[in-house]
Amino acid sequence: MIKSRTDAEVFPLGDGITRINEYDFANCFLVEGEESACLIDTGDGICDLPAILSKLTDKKITVLITHAHADHVGGICRFDEAFVHPLDLKRANKYAKGIWRAYFLFCHRYKKNKHGVSYREAFIKPRRCVLKTMKEGDAFDLGGRKIEVYLTPGHSAGSVTLRDTLTGTLFTGDNVNPMVTLQYPGSAGLKAWIESAEKTLSLAGQAPIWGGHGGEAIEPRMIRTAIGFAEKLLKDPPKRRGVVTVQGEEKYPKLVARARRS
């Protein structure tokens, strides 16, 4: 029997928002209202999130998933219920399974990271999670603040951006990150991503934008640069098929896409 871990790092961001980082990788966010709270993404399931959350709040928690990749949806197996966009529903069921969590860990060489997370830990015994759907225009009322749902396809077809009405903060999952990845199966392609990235910028205004990875909020400048890369790829697609990477002089941002899939 594998003992579940509770050593994920917790960073209060102020205004009732907490970032929970699962072993230097995916971010989860707890947003607390006056009456209830919500958890945005569940990590890859290695961490015993319910145990960590119980130390942070005693309010009822609604689980919302930005997109159905194993490092965000893997932890739903620890909850009774979660919300995901219908376009990512099928993958959410698939990627929450132990084999995909282990594959994800393998890809990211968790075995060697400072936290010493092993592949075996991906195979926790899942609790049955009922997946419900959420769509553009939905809002989850937490009391004194709401979490609004916006469909922002690109990184996956059912990627959503969640907006906190109290602070304006956006939670973009992986659709907007320093490294934009559009090469995975289920991606909505370059054109859709550009529209979504522009929508994200206009939704954000001056408010913070938090992605699914990294310890800092995303600067709008990074998003604009990545949009420029995507437009360049659309206008002048590479001759060969396959995965292409576009990168500026700086280390980030970077855009990875599948050629001729847009």
Tokens 């522009």 belong to: 198
Q: Which residues contact 252 (CB under 8 A, 6 or more apart)?
A: 178, 179, 222
CA distance 212 to 67: 10
Identity of the residue, 69 or 101, whose beta carbon is nearer to Zn ion in the bound complex: 69
Sheet-wide strand order for 61-64: 9-14, 17-21, 27-32, 37-40, 61-64, 81-84, 130-133
- Smallest distance from Zn ion to CB 211, Å: 9
- Smallest distance from Zn ion to CB 136, Å: 19
- Smallest distance from Zn ion to CB 127, Å: 22
What letters, b where the CB count within 10 A reaches 16 and e where it falls short, cover 72-98?
A: bbbbbbbbeebbbbebbbebbeebbbb
- Strand, helix or coil for residue 140: strand
Identity of the residue, 69 or 91, whose beta carbon is nearer to Zn ion in the bound complex: 69
- Smallest distance from Zn ion to CB 184, Å: 7
Identity of the residue, 17 or 70, whose beta carbon is nearer to Zn ion in the bound complex: 70
How far from chain centre, in Å, is Cα 248?
24
- Smallest distance from Zn ion to CB 245, Å: 16
- Smallest distance from Zn ion to CB 107, Å: 11
Identity of the residue, 32 or 71, whose beta carbon is nearer to Zn ion in the bound complex: 71
CA distance 238 to 19: 38
Q: Which residues of this chain interact with Zn ion, rule CB under 5 A?
A: 69, 71, 174, 212
Identity of the residue, 57 or 252, whose beta carbon is nearer to Zn ion in the bound complex: 252
Q: C-alpha dihedral over 203, 211, 96, 92, to 10 degrees?
A: 20
Identity of the residue, 16 or 104, whose beta carbon is nearer to Zn ion in the bound complex: 104
